[in-house]
Chain A
Protein backbone atom coordinates (compact mmCIF):
# COMPACT_ATOMS: atom_id res chain seq x y z
CA UNK A 1 0.00 0.00 0.00
CA UNK A 2 2.91 2.35 0.60
CA UNK A 3 4.46 2.22 -2.88
CA UNK A 4 5.28 5.79 -3.91
CA UNK A 5 2.63 6.96 -6.38
CA UNK A 6 3.43 7.67 -10.04
CA UNK A 7 3.24 11.16 -11.47
CA UNK A 8 -0.29 10.80 -12.86
CA UNK A 9 -1.62 9.33 -9.67
CA UNK A 10 0.17 12.03 -7.71
CA UNK A 11 -1.96 14.53 -9.60
CA UNK A 12 -5.05 12.48 -8.74
CA UNK A 13 -4.02 12.47 -5.12
CA UNK A 14 -3.65 16.25 -4.98
CA UNK A 15 -6.96 16.70 -6.76
CA UNK A 16 -8.79 14.32 -4.43
CA UNK A 17 -7.17 15.70 -1.33
CA UNK A 18 -8.72 19.06 -2.09
CA UNK A 19 -12.09 17.39 -1.49
CA UNK A 20 -10.91 15.65 1.66
CA UNK A 21 -8.97 18.50 3.24
CA UNK A 22 -11.88 20.19 5.09
CA UNK A 23 -12.77 16.94 6.87
CA UNK A 24 -9.16 15.91 7.41
CA UNK A 25 -8.18 19.21 9.01
CA UNK A 26 -11.14 18.99 11.40
CA UNK A 27 -10.45 15.36 12.28
CA UNK A 28 -6.80 16.14 12.98
CA UNK A 29 -7.65 19.14 15.18
CA UNK A 30 -10.60 17.71 17.11
CA UNK A 31 -10.15 13.93 17.05
CA UNK A 32 -6.62 12.65 16.41
CA UNK A 33 -4.59 15.39 18.04
CA UNK A 34 -6.72 15.43 21.24
CA UNK A 35 -6.55 11.65 21.51
CA UNK A 36 -2.75 11.73 21.33
CA UNK A 37 -2.69 14.71 23.66
CA UNK A 38 -4.80 12.77 26.18
CA UNK A 39 -2.32 9.93 26.00
CA UNK A 40 0.53 12.37 26.55
CA UNK A 41 -1.19 14.12 29.48
CA UNK A 42 -1.70 10.77 31.17
CA UNK A 43 2.07 10.19 31.22
CA UNK A 44 2.83 13.45 33.03
CA UNK A 45 1.91 15.27 36.18
CA UNK A 46 -0.07 18.36 35.25
CA UNK A 47 -0.52 21.78 36.83
CA UNK A 48 -3.78 23.64 37.38
CA UNK A 49 -4.06 24.95 33.82
CA UNK A 50 -3.20 21.60 32.27
CA UNK A 51 0.51 22.04 31.44
CA UNK A 52 2.71 18.96 31.76
CA UNK A 53 5.22 19.22 34.61
CA UNK A 54 7.01 15.96 35.45
CA UNK A 55 7.19 12.81 33.31
CA UNK A 56 5.85 9.87 35.29
CA UNK A 57 5.53 7.17 32.64
CA UNK A 58 2.83 4.59 33.27
CA UNK A 59 2.74 5.28 37.00
CA UNK A 60 -0.71 6.89 36.69
CA UNK A 61 -2.14 3.70 35.22
CA UNK A 62 -0.49 1.53 37.87
CA UNK A 63 -1.91 3.78 40.59
CA UNK A 64 -5.33 3.78 38.99
CA UNK A 65 -5.67 0.03 38.76
CA UNK A 66 -4.66 -0.29 42.38
CA UNK A 67 -7.00 2.48 43.58
CA UNK A 68 -10.46 1.65 44.85
CA UNK A 69 -11.91 4.80 43.34
CA UNK A 70 -11.11 3.82 39.77
CA UNK A 71 -12.04 0.16 40.19
CA UNK A 72 -15.30 1.35 41.66
CA UNK A 73 -15.92 3.54 38.58
CA UNK A 74 -15.25 0.58 36.30
CA UNK A 75 -17.64 -1.54 38.34
CA UNK A 76 -20.37 1.13 38.26
CA UNK A 77 -19.93 1.42 34.49
CA UNK A 78 -20.23 -2.34 34.08
CA UNK A 79 -23.34 -2.51 36.28
CA UNK A 80 -24.91 0.39 34.40
CA UNK A 81 -24.26 -1.43 31.11
CA UNK A 82 -25.86 -4.60 32.46
CA UNK A 83 -28.89 -2.73 33.77
CA UNK A 84 -29.51 -0.84 30.53
CA UNK A 85 -28.45 -2.96 27.53
CA UNK A 86 -30.44 -6.21 27.73
CA UNK A 87 -33.62 -4.78 29.30
CA UNK A 88 -33.57 -1.95 26.76
CA UNK A 89 -33.14 -4.41 23.89
CA UNK A 90 -35.90 -6.78 25.07
CA UNK A 91 -38.47 -4.02 25.54
CA UNK A 92 -37.56 -2.50 22.18
CA UNK A 93 -37.77 -5.86 20.42
CA UNK A 94 -41.24 -6.49 21.82
CA UNK A 95 -42.43 -3.05 20.81
CA UNK A 96 -40.86 -3.29 17.35
CA UNK A 97 -42.56 -6.66 16.88
CA UNK A 98 -46.02 -5.24 17.49
CA UNK A 99 -45.19 -2.11 15.49
CA UNK A 100 -44.59 -4.45 12.54
CA UNK A 101 -48.16 -5.82 12.55
CA UNK A 102 -49.83 -5.13 9.22
CA UNK A 103 -52.69 -2.90 10.30
CA UNK A 104 -54.27 0.29 9.05
CA UNK A 105 -52.73 3.32 10.75
CA UNK A 106 -49.68 1.41 11.99
CA UNK A 107 -47.44 4.32 10.87
CA UNK A 108 -48.95 6.44 13.65
CA UNK A 109 -47.85 3.89 16.23
CA UNK A 110 -44.40 3.64 14.65
CA UNK A 111 -43.98 7.41 15.08
CA UNK A 112 -45.19 7.28 18.68
CA UNK A 113 -42.79 4.44 19.48
CA UNK A 114 -39.89 6.54 18.17
CA UNK A 115 -40.98 9.44 20.38
CA UNK A 116 -38.30 9.22 23.13
CA UNK A 117 -35.75 10.22 20.45
CA UNK A 118 -37.17 13.73 20.46
CA UNK A 119 -36.83 14.32 24.21
CA UNK A 120 -33.29 15.34 25.01
CA UNK A 121 -31.40 14.15 28.02
CA UNK A 122 -31.96 17.24 30.17
CA UNK A 123 -35.75 17.23 29.77
CA UNK A 124 -36.06 13.48 30.18
CA UNK A 125 -33.92 13.48 33.32
CA UNK A 126 -35.90 16.30 34.93
CA UNK A 127 -39.22 14.57 34.17
CA UNK A 128 -37.94 11.41 35.83
CA UNK A 129 -36.60 13.44 38.74
CA UNK A 130 -40.19 14.47 39.39
CA UNK A 131 -41.41 10.86 39.04
CA UNK A 132 -38.68 9.65 41.43
CA UNK A 133 -39.51 12.23 44.11
CA UNK A 134 -39.62 10.10 47.29
CA UNK A 135 -42.39 12.02 49.04
CA UNK A 136 -44.69 13.22 46.26
CA UNK A 137 -43.60 11.34 43.12
CA UNK A 138 -45.63 9.02 40.93
CA UNK A 139 -43.37 6.02 41.58
CA UNK A 140 -43.73 6.50 45.33
CA UNK A 141 -47.49 6.60 44.82
CA UNK A 142 -47.56 3.34 42.85
CA UNK A 143 -45.43 1.57 45.46
CA UNK A 144 -47.90 2.72 48.11
CA UNK A 145 -50.91 1.60 46.06
CA UNK A 146 -49.44 -1.90 45.76
CA UNK A 147 -48.41 -1.91 49.44
CA UNK A 148 -44.73 -2.17 48.59
CA UNK A 149 -42.04 -0.66 50.82
CA UNK A 150 -41.00 2.88 49.91
CA UNK A 151 -37.81 3.36 47.92
CA UNK A 152 -35.80 6.55 48.03
CA UNK A 153 -34.71 6.03 44.39
CA UNK A 154 -31.95 8.56 43.71
CA UNK A 155 -30.87 9.02 47.33
CA UNK A 156 -30.33 5.32 48.04
CA UNK A 157 -26.93 3.96 46.87
CA UNK A 158 -28.58 0.58 46.21
CA UNK A 159 -31.18 2.09 43.90
CA UNK A 160 -29.52 5.17 42.40
CA UNK A 161 -27.83 3.35 39.51
CA UNK A 162 -31.03 1.44 38.73
CA UNK A 163 -32.99 4.71 38.77
CA UNK A 164 -30.58 6.35 36.35
CA UNK A 165 -30.75 3.21 34.18
CA UNK A 166 -34.53 3.55 33.89
CA UNK A 167 -34.11 7.00 32.37
CA UNK A 168 -31.42 5.75 29.99
CA UNK A 169 -33.58 2.78 28.92
CA UNK A 170 -36.54 5.04 28.18
CA UNK A 171 -34.32 7.44 26.22
CA UNK A 172 -32.79 4.62 24.17
CA UNK A 173 -36.09 2.98 23.21
CA UNK A 174 -36.74 5.14 20.15
CA UNK A 175 -33.44 4.30 18.48
CA UNK A 176 -33.61 0.58 19.33
CA UNK A 177 -37.18 0.25 18.09
CA UNK A 178 -36.36 1.94 14.78
CA UNK A 179 -33.42 -0.38 14.17
CA UNK A 180 -35.31 -3.54 15.17
CA UNK A 181 -38.29 -2.49 13.06
CA UNK A 182 -36.14 -2.06 9.97
CA UNK A 183 -34.61 -5.47 10.68
CA UNK A 184 -38.05 -7.06 10.98
CA UNK A 185 -39.22 -5.42 7.77
CA UNK A 186 -36.30 -6.91 5.87
CA UNK A 187 -37.34 -10.49 6.69
CA UNK A 188 -39.03 -11.95 3.56
CA UNK A 189 -42.80 -12.31 4.06
CA UNK A 190 -43.03 -15.65 2.23
CA UNK A 191 -41.13 -17.39 5.02
CA UNK A 192 -43.97 -16.63 7.42
CA UNK A 193 -46.57 -17.58 4.84
CA UNK A 194 -45.15 -21.04 4.27
CA UNK A 195 -44.64 -21.53 8.02
CA UNK A 196 -48.28 -20.52 8.51
CA UNK A 197 -49.41 -23.13 5.97
CA UNK A 198 -47.37 -25.73 7.88
CA UNK A 199 -49.38 -24.78 10.96
CA UNK A 200 -46.57 -23.15 12.99
CA UNK A 201 -47.90 -20.98 15.84
CA UNK A 202 -46.94 -17.28 15.95
CA UNK A 203 -44.66 -18.07 18.88
CA UNK A 204 -42.85 -20.86 16.95
CA UNK A 205 -42.56 -18.55 13.95
CA UNK A 206 -41.00 -15.92 16.19
CA UNK A 207 -38.47 -18.39 17.63
CA UNK A 208 -37.67 -20.25 14.39
CA UNK A 209 -37.80 -17.48 11.81
CA UNK A 210 -37.76 -14.00 13.37
CA UNK A 211 -35.03 -14.40 15.98
CA UNK A 212 -32.44 -16.17 13.79
CA UNK A 213 -32.97 -13.82 10.85
CA UNK A 214 -32.85 -10.84 13.17
CA UNK A 215 -29.53 -11.86 14.70
CA UNK A 216 -27.34 -9.41 12.71
CA UNK A 217 -29.66 -6.56 13.71
CA UNK A 218 -29.71 -7.69 17.34
CA UNK A 219 -25.94 -7.89 17.36
CA UNK A 220 -25.66 -4.35 15.97
CA UNK A 221 -28.10 -3.00 18.57
CA UNK A 222 -26.20 -4.88 21.27
CA UNK A 223 -22.83 -3.34 20.42
CA UNK A 224 -24.20 0.16 19.86
CA UNK A 225 -26.13 -0.04 23.14
CA UNK A 226 -23.03 -1.04 25.07
CA UNK A 227 -21.03 1.79 23.52
CA UNK A 228 -23.83 4.28 24.24
CA UNK A 229 -24.23 3.18 27.82
CA UNK A 230 -20.49 3.53 28.40
CA UNK A 231 -20.79 7.15 27.27
CA UNK A 232 -23.84 8.10 29.34
CA UNK A 233 -23.28 11.40 31.06
CA UNK A 234 -26.29 13.75 31.07
CA UNK A 235 -28.63 11.61 33.18
CA UNK A 236 -25.99 11.19 35.84
CA UNK A 237 -24.96 14.83 35.92
CA UNK A 238 -28.56 15.99 36.31
CA UNK A 239 -29.91 13.30 38.64
CA UNK A 240 -27.10 12.16 40.94
CA UNK A 241 -23.75 13.89 40.23
CA UNK A 242 -22.03 10.55 40.70
CA UNK A 243 -23.52 9.99 44.16
CA UNK A 244 -24.82 8.93 46.59
CA UNK A 245 -21.53 7.58 47.96
CA UNK A 246 -20.02 7.23 44.46
CA UNK A 247 -22.67 4.69 43.40
CA UNK A 248 -23.22 6.36 40.02
CA UNK A 249 -19.68 7.63 39.42
CA UNK A 250 -19.26 5.93 36.03
CA UNK A 251 -16.08 6.52 33.99
CA UNK A 252 -17.41 9.35 31.84
CA UNK A 253 -18.71 11.17 34.89
CA UNK A 254 -15.42 10.61 36.67
CA UNK A 255 -13.52 12.08 33.68
CA UNK A 256 -15.70 15.19 33.93
CA UNK A 257 -15.31 15.55 37.68
CA UNK A 258 -11.57 14.88 37.84
CA UNK A 259 -10.88 17.08 34.81
CA UNK A 260 -13.16 20.02 35.39
CA UNK A 261 -13.68 20.16 39.16
CA UNK A 262 -10.57 18.67 40.71
CA UNK A 263 -8.42 19.99 37.83
CA UNK A 264 -6.63 16.65 37.87
CA UNK A 265 -6.17 16.62 34.08
CA UNK A 266 -3.63 13.85 34.09
CA UNK A 267 -5.89 11.43 35.96
CA UNK A 268 -8.89 12.34 33.80
CA UNK A 269 -6.78 11.82 30.66
CA UNK A 270 -5.69 8.40 31.81
CA UNK A 271 -9.35 7.49 32.35
CA UNK A 272 -10.12 8.81 28.86
CA UNK A 273 -7.50 6.53 27.36
CA UNK A 274 -8.93 3.52 29.20
CA UNK A 275 -12.40 4.42 27.91
CA UNK A 276 -10.96 4.71 24.41
CA UNK A 277 -9.43 1.23 24.59
CA UNK A 278 -12.62 -0.35 25.92
CA UNK A 279 -14.66 1.12 23.06
CA UNK A 280 -11.95 0.27 20.52
CA UNK A 281 -11.99 -3.37 21.64
CA UNK A 282 -15.78 -3.51 21.43
CA UNK A 283 -15.73 -2.08 17.91
CA UNK A 284 -12.99 -4.44 16.76
CA UNK A 285 -14.98 -7.32 18.26
CA UNK A 286 -17.99 -6.16 16.24
CA UNK A 287 -15.96 -6.11 13.00
CA UNK A 288 -14.45 -9.50 13.81
CA UNK A 289 -17.87 -11.09 14.30
CA UNK A 290 -19.25 -9.46 11.15
CA UNK A 291 -16.22 -10.64 9.13
CA UNK A 292 -16.80 -14.23 10.21
CA UNK A 293 -20.39 -13.95 8.95
CA UNK A 294 -21.79 -16.18 11.66
CA UNK A 295 -25.29 -15.11 10.74
CA UNK A 296 -27.88 -16.78 8.61
CA UNK A 297 -27.85 -14.38 5.70
Chain B
Protein backbone atom coordinates (compact mmCIF):
# COMPACT_ATOMS: atom_id res chain seq x y z
CA UNK B 1 0.00 0.00 0.00
CA UNK B 2 2.73 2.38 1.02
CA UNK B 3 4.74 1.67 -2.10
CA UNK B 4 1.69 2.20 -4.35
CA UNK B 5 1.31 5.65 -2.84
CA UNK B 6 4.98 6.27 -3.44
CA UNK B 7 4.73 5.24 -7.09
CA UNK B 8 1.81 7.59 -7.41
CA UNK B 9 3.89 10.48 -6.05
CA UNK B 10 6.83 9.63 -8.29
CA UNK B 11 4.63 9.43 -11.37
CA UNK B 12 2.99 12.76 -10.58
CA UNK B 13 6.41 14.38 -10.09
CA UNK B 14 7.73 12.85 -13.31
CA UNK B 15 4.73 14.20 -15.16
CA UNK B 16 5.28 17.65 -13.64
CA UNK B 17 8.90 17.67 -14.82
CA UNK B 18 8.18 16.34 -18.29
CA UNK B 19 4.99 18.37 -18.84
CA UNK B 20 6.51 21.28 -20.81
CA UNK B 21 8.30 18.94 -23.20
CA UNK B 22 5.39 16.48 -23.51
CA UNK B 23 3.14 19.37 -24.42
CA UNK B 24 5.70 20.50 -27.02
CA UNK B 25 5.73 17.00 -28.56
CA UNK B 26 1.94 16.97 -28.54
CA UNK B 27 1.68 20.36 -30.27
CA UNK B 28 4.24 19.29 -32.87
CA UNK B 29 1.78 16.64 -34.08
CA UNK B 30 -1.17 19.04 -34.26
CA UNK B 31 -2.32 21.03 -37.26
CA UNK B 32 -1.53 24.75 -37.32
CA UNK B 33 -5.08 25.68 -36.35
CA UNK B 34 -5.26 23.12 -33.53
CA UNK B 35 -2.06 24.57 -32.11
CA UNK B 36 -3.63 28.03 -32.05
CA UNK B 37 -7.00 27.23 -30.48
CA UNK B 38 -8.13 28.42 -27.08
CA UNK B 39 -8.67 26.64 -24.74
CA UNK B 40 -5.44 24.84 -25.72
CA UNK B 41 -5.77 21.40 -27.23
CA UNK B 42 -3.54 19.07 -25.23
CA UNK B 43 -3.88 15.97 -27.41
CA UNK B 44 -3.61 16.18 -31.21
CA UNK B 45 -6.69 14.94 -33.09
CA UNK B 46 -4.47 12.93 -35.41
CA UNK B 47 -0.84 12.22 -36.06
CA UNK B 48 -0.01 15.16 -38.33
CA UNK B 49 3.61 15.38 -39.41
CA UNK B 50 3.26 18.39 -41.73
CA UNK B 51 4.88 20.51 -39.03
CA UNK B 52 8.07 18.45 -39.31
CA UNK B 53 8.32 18.81 -43.08
CA UNK B 54 7.58 22.52 -42.74
CA UNK B 55 10.24 22.95 -40.05
CA UNK B 56 12.81 21.19 -42.23
CA UNK B 57 11.81 23.30 -45.23
CA UNK B 58 11.93 26.58 -43.29
CA UNK B 59 15.29 26.11 -41.60
CA UNK B 60 18.23 23.85 -42.52
CA UNK B 61 17.80 21.97 -39.24
CA UNK B 62 19.93 18.97 -40.16
CA UNK B 63 22.73 21.28 -41.25
CA UNK B 64 22.50 23.07 -37.88
CA UNK B 65 22.62 19.72 -36.09
CA UNK B 66 25.66 18.75 -38.17
CA UNK B 67 27.39 22.03 -37.27
CA UNK B 68 26.69 21.50 -33.59
CA UNK B 69 27.98 17.93 -33.81
CA UNK B 70 31.20 19.03 -35.50
CA UNK B 71 31.85 21.76 -32.93
CA UNK B 72 30.93 19.53 -29.99
CA UNK B 73 33.16 16.71 -31.23
CA UNK B 74 36.05 19.14 -31.79
CA UNK B 75 35.69 20.56 -28.28
CA UNK B 76 35.40 17.09 -26.77
CA UNK B 77 38.52 15.87 -28.57
CA UNK B 78 40.39 19.05 -27.64
CA UNK B 79 39.46 18.74 -23.96
CA UNK B 80 40.32 15.05 -23.76
CA UNK B 81 43.73 15.88 -25.24
CA UNK B 82 44.66 18.93 -23.14
CA UNK B 83 43.01 17.81 -19.89
CA UNK B 84 44.48 14.31 -19.87
CA UNK B 85 48.00 15.65 -20.48
CA UNK B 86 47.72 18.25 -17.73
CA UNK B 87 46.01 15.85 -15.33
CA UNK B 88 48.83 13.34 -15.88
CA UNK B 89 51.46 15.88 -14.90
CA UNK B 90 49.51 16.92 -11.79
CA UNK B 91 48.79 13.34 -10.72
CA UNK B 92 52.08 11.55 -11.45
CA UNK B 93 54.97 13.96 -11.87
CA UNK B 94 56.92 15.93 -9.28
CA UNK B 95 58.07 19.37 -10.32
CA UNK B 96 58.66 22.82 -8.83
CA UNK B 97 55.75 25.27 -8.62
CA UNK B 98 53.30 22.36 -8.95
CA UNK B 99 50.90 23.78 -6.36
CA UNK B 100 51.11 27.23 -7.88
CA UNK B 101 50.39 25.92 -11.37
CA UNK B 102 47.48 23.83 -10.10
CA UNK B 103 46.04 26.89 -8.36
CA UNK B 104 46.44 28.80 -11.61
CA UNK B 105 44.37 26.13 -13.38
CA UNK B 106 41.68 26.20 -10.72
CA UNK B 107 41.54 29.99 -10.79
CA UNK B 108 40.17 29.87 -14.34
CA UNK B 109 36.98 28.38 -12.89
CA UNK B 110 36.37 31.60 -10.97
CA UNK B 111 36.48 33.71 -14.12
CA UNK B 112 33.04 33.82 -15.72
CA UNK B 113 33.16 33.34 -19.47
CA UNK B 114 30.73 36.26 -19.87
CA UNK B 115 33.31 38.59 -18.33
CA UNK B 116 35.78 37.82 -21.12
CA UNK B 117 33.58 37.73 -24.21
CA UNK B 118 34.44 41.17 -25.54
CA UNK B 119 38.23 40.68 -25.81
CA UNK B 120 37.64 37.08 -26.93
CA UNK B 121 35.39 38.34 -29.68
CA UNK B 122 38.15 40.77 -30.76
CA UNK B 123 40.69 37.92 -30.74
CA UNK B 124 38.54 35.69 -32.91
CA UNK B 125 37.80 38.61 -35.24
CA UNK B 126 41.47 39.49 -35.68
CA UNK B 127 42.29 35.83 -36.39
CA UNK B 128 39.52 36.00 -39.03
CA UNK B 129 37.84 33.08 -37.31
CA UNK B 130 34.34 34.58 -37.25
CA UNK B 131 31.91 32.11 -38.86
CA UNK B 132 34.34 29.19 -38.64
CA UNK B 133 34.37 25.91 -36.75
CA UNK B 134 37.70 26.76 -35.14
CA UNK B 135 36.28 30.04 -33.87
CA UNK B 136 33.42 28.17 -32.25
CA UNK B 137 35.56 25.40 -30.78
CA UNK B 138 39.16 26.43 -30.03
CA UNK B 139 38.41 28.81 -27.10
CA UNK B 140 36.93 25.83 -25.22
CA UNK B 141 39.75 23.34 -25.87
CA UNK B 142 41.11 23.65 -22.34
CA UNK B 143 39.10 23.04 -19.20
CA UNK B 144 40.14 23.33 -15.58
CA UNK B 145 37.11 21.29 -14.59
CA UNK B 146 38.08 18.47 -16.97
CA UNK B 147 41.68 18.52 -15.71
CA UNK B 148 40.43 18.36 -12.15
CA UNK B 149 38.07 15.50 -12.97
CA UNK B 150 40.76 13.39 -14.69
CA UNK B 151 43.39 14.17 -12.07
CA UNK B 152 41.09 12.88 -9.35
CA UNK B 153 40.65 9.65 -11.26
CA UNK B 154 44.35 9.27 -12.11
CA UNK B 155 45.14 9.58 -8.40
CA UNK B 156 43.06 6.48 -7.66
CA UNK B 157 45.25 4.37 -9.97
CA UNK B 158 47.78 2.32 -7.98
CA UNK B 159 51.14 4.09 -7.67
CA UNK B 160 52.91 0.75 -8.08
CA UNK B 161 52.18 0.62 -11.80
CA UNK B 162 54.07 3.89 -12.16
CA UNK B 163 57.08 2.52 -10.24
CA UNK B 164 56.95 -0.77 -12.16
CA UNK B 165 56.83 1.03 -15.48
CA UNK B 166 59.84 3.14 -14.47
CA UNK B 167 61.78 0.01 -13.52
CA UNK B 168 61.14 -1.35 -16.99
CA UNK B 169 62.66 1.82 -18.41
CA UNK B 170 59.31 2.99 -19.72
CA UNK B 171 59.33 6.76 -20.35
CA UNK B 172 56.70 9.06 -18.91
CA UNK B 173 54.93 9.58 -22.16
CA UNK B 174 54.80 5.92 -23.08
CA UNK B 175 53.51 5.13 -19.60
CA UNK B 176 50.83 7.78 -20.08
CA UNK B 177 49.72 6.42 -23.47
CA UNK B 178 49.95 2.69 -22.84
CA UNK B 179 48.89 2.48 -19.18
CA UNK B 180 47.15 5.55 -17.79
CA UNK B 181 44.80 6.33 -20.67
CA UNK B 182 43.48 2.77 -21.17
CA UNK B 183 42.94 2.37 -17.41
CA UNK B 184 41.05 5.65 -17.22
CA UNK B 185 38.31 4.92 -19.73
CA UNK B 186 35.46 5.57 -17.23
CA UNK B 187 36.77 9.05 -16.42
CA UNK B 188 37.43 9.82 -20.09
CA UNK B 189 33.85 8.74 -20.90
CA UNK B 190 32.55 11.10 -18.22
CA UNK B 191 34.53 14.00 -19.66
CA UNK B 192 33.35 13.12 -23.18
CA UNK B 193 29.64 13.09 -22.31
CA UNK B 194 29.94 16.22 -20.20
CA UNK B 195 31.94 18.23 -22.76
CA UNK B 196 29.70 17.16 -25.63
CA UNK B 197 26.46 18.09 -23.86
CA UNK B 198 27.75 21.45 -22.63
CA UNK B 199 29.01 22.41 -26.07
CA UNK B 200 25.89 21.25 -27.92
CA UNK B 201 23.82 23.44 -25.59
CA UNK B 202 26.02 26.55 -25.85
CA UNK B 203 24.18 29.72 -26.69
CA UNK B 204 25.96 33.04 -26.15
CA UNK B 205 29.26 32.34 -27.93
CA UNK B 206 27.79 30.90 -31.16
CA UNK B 207 25.29 33.77 -31.15
CA UNK B 208 28.17 36.26 -31.14
CA UNK B 209 30.52 34.78 -33.67
CA UNK B 210 28.26 33.21 -36.30
CA UNK B 211 26.47 35.38 -38.84
CA UNK B 212 25.61 33.03 -41.70
CA UNK B 213 23.05 30.23 -41.78
CA UNK B 214 25.80 28.01 -43.07
CA UNK B 215 27.67 28.18 -39.75
CA UNK B 216 24.80 28.51 -37.28
CA UNK B 217 24.60 25.90 -34.54
CA UNK B 218 21.24 24.43 -33.49
CA UNK B 219 20.64 26.66 -30.50
CA UNK B 220 20.96 29.78 -32.62
CA UNK B 221 19.38 28.29 -35.73
CA UNK B 222 16.19 27.53 -33.81
CA UNK B 223 15.46 31.26 -33.85
CA UNK B 224 14.54 30.85 -37.54
CA UNK B 225 11.57 28.81 -36.33
CA UNK B 226 10.57 31.25 -33.63
CA UNK B 227 6.83 31.72 -33.63
CA UNK B 228 6.16 34.61 -35.94
CA UNK B 229 4.10 35.52 -39.00
CA UNK B 230 3.83 32.50 -41.26
CA UNK B 231 5.20 30.09 -38.66
CA UNK B 232 2.81 28.50 -36.22
CA UNK B 233 3.55 26.82 -32.91
CA UNK B 234 3.38 23.28 -34.27
CA UNK B 235 6.30 24.01 -36.63
CA UNK B 236 8.36 25.65 -33.89
CA UNK B 237 7.78 22.68 -31.58
CA UNK B 238 8.66 20.20 -34.33
CA UNK B 239 12.01 21.97 -34.70
CA UNK B 240 12.63 21.87 -30.96
CA UNK B 241 11.81 18.16 -30.76
CA UNK B 242 14.21 17.42 -33.65
CA UNK B 243 17.16 19.33 -32.20
CA UNK B 244 16.58 17.89 -28.72
CA UNK B 245 16.65 14.24 -29.83
CA UNK B 246 20.47 13.90 -29.79
CA UNK B 247 20.81 15.28 -26.27
CA UNK B 248 17.87 13.26 -24.93
CA UNK B 249 19.53 10.15 -26.36
CA UNK B 250 22.83 11.20 -24.78
CA UNK B 251 21.15 11.68 -21.39
CA UNK B 252 19.50 8.27 -21.50
CA UNK B 253 22.60 6.40 -22.71
CA UNK B 254 25.24 8.36 -20.83
CA UNK B 255 23.44 9.15 -17.61
CA UNK B 256 25.91 7.26 -15.44
CA UNK B 257 28.85 9.19 -16.93
CA UNK B 258 27.00 12.47 -16.73
CA UNK B 259 26.06 11.99 -13.08
CA UNK B 260 29.67 11.17 -12.28
CA UNK B 261 30.83 14.32 -14.04
CA UNK B 262 28.27 16.62 -12.45
CA UNK B 263 28.84 15.33 -8.94
CA UNK B 264 32.64 15.49 -9.21
CA UNK B 265 32.56 19.17 -8.30
CA UNK B 266 30.35 18.71 -5.25
CA UNK B 267 32.61 16.28 -3.47
CA UNK B 268 35.81 18.27 -3.58
CA UNK B 269 35.20 19.93 -0.21
Footprint of B on A, CB under 8 Å? 1, 5, 9-10, 12-13, 15-17, 19-20, 22-23, 26-27, 29-35, 37-38, 41, 50, 95, 98-99, 101, 103, 106, 109-124, 126-131, 135-138, 140-141, 144, 170, 173, 175, 178-179, 182-183, 216-217, 220-221, 224, 227, 230-231, 233-234, 237-238, 252, 255-256, 259-260, 265, 268-269, 272-273, 275-276, 279-280, 283, 290
A38 CA to B258 CA, complexed, in Å: 34
Chain A, Cβ-Cβ closest to B96? A5
Q: For A20, give its contact among B101, B113, B119, B222 (CB under 8 Å).
A: B101
| Residues B244 and A41 in contact, CB atoms below 8 Å apart | no
Q: Chain A residues near B177 (CB, 8 Å)?
A: none
- A to B CB contacts below 8 Å, 14 in the list: A5-B96, A16-B98, A19-B85, A22-B82, A37-B122, A111-B252, A114-B251, A120-B219, A122-B219, A127-B23, A136-B37, A221-B266, A256-B117, A275-B112
Contacts A13-B96, A217-B266, A234-B204 given: A23-B85 contact, CB under 8 Å? yes
Taking A98-B10, A118-B244 as given, write out 9 further A-B residue pairs in contact, using a Cβ cutoff of 8 Å, ordered by the A residue number: A10-B96, A20-B86, A103-B10, A106-B10, A109-B14, A119-B244, A123-B24, A124-B20, A130-B237
A22 to B141, CA, bound (A): 9
- What is the bound-complex CA distance between A41 and B54, given in angstroms? 46
Contacts A13-B95, A120-B219 given; indicate if A220 touches B204 (C-beta within 8 A): no
Q: Is B188 an interface residue (CB 8 A)?
A: no
Q: A22-B85, A31-B116, A182-B263 are in contact. Are A279 and B110 (CB under 8 A)?
A: yes
Contact B240 A255 (CB under 8 A): no
Query: B57 at interface (Cβ–Cβ under 8 A)?
Result: no
Chain A hits for B243, CB < 8 A: 120, 123
Distance from A89 Cβ to chain B, minimum over Cβ atoms (Å): 13
CB pair B115–A123 under 8 Å, yes or no, is no
| Complex-state Cα separation, A123 to B240, whole angstroms | 5
User: With A and B bound together, what is the CA distance between A140 and B39 in angstroms?
Assistant: 9
Contact B14 A112, beta carbon cutoff 8 Å: yes
Q: Does B208 contact A (CB under 8 A)?
A: yes
The listed residue (A15, A110, A173, A233) touching B203 by CB distance below 8 A is A233
Question: Which of A115, A119, A136 contacts B40 (CB under 8 A)?
Answer: A136
Kindly list chain A residues whose C-beta atoms are within 8 Å of the C-beta of B83: 23
- Contact partners of A1 in chain B: CB under 8 A: 97, 99-100
Closest 3 A/B residue pairs (Cβ): A34-B119, A26-B142, A34-B116
Which chain B residues border A37 with CB–CB below 8 Å?
Answer: 118-119, 122
The answer to whether the Cβ of B132 comes within 8 Å of any Cβ in the partner chain is no
Contact across chains for A99 and B10 when beta carbons are under 8 A apart: yes
When distances are taken between beta carbons in the complex, the residues of chain B under 8 Å from A38 are 115-116, 118-119
Flag B254-269 by CB within 8 Å of A: 1 or 0 each: 0100110011011101
B247 adjacent to chain A (CB < 8 Å): yes
Docked-complex contact A19 and B88, CB < 8 angstroms: yes
Contact of A50 among B122, B141, B265 (CB under 8 A): B122
In the complex, which residues of chain B have a beta carbon less than 8 angstroms from the beta carbon of A275?
Answer: 112, 114-115
Given the complex of chains A and B, what is the CA–CA distance between A120 and B122 in angstroms?
A: 27
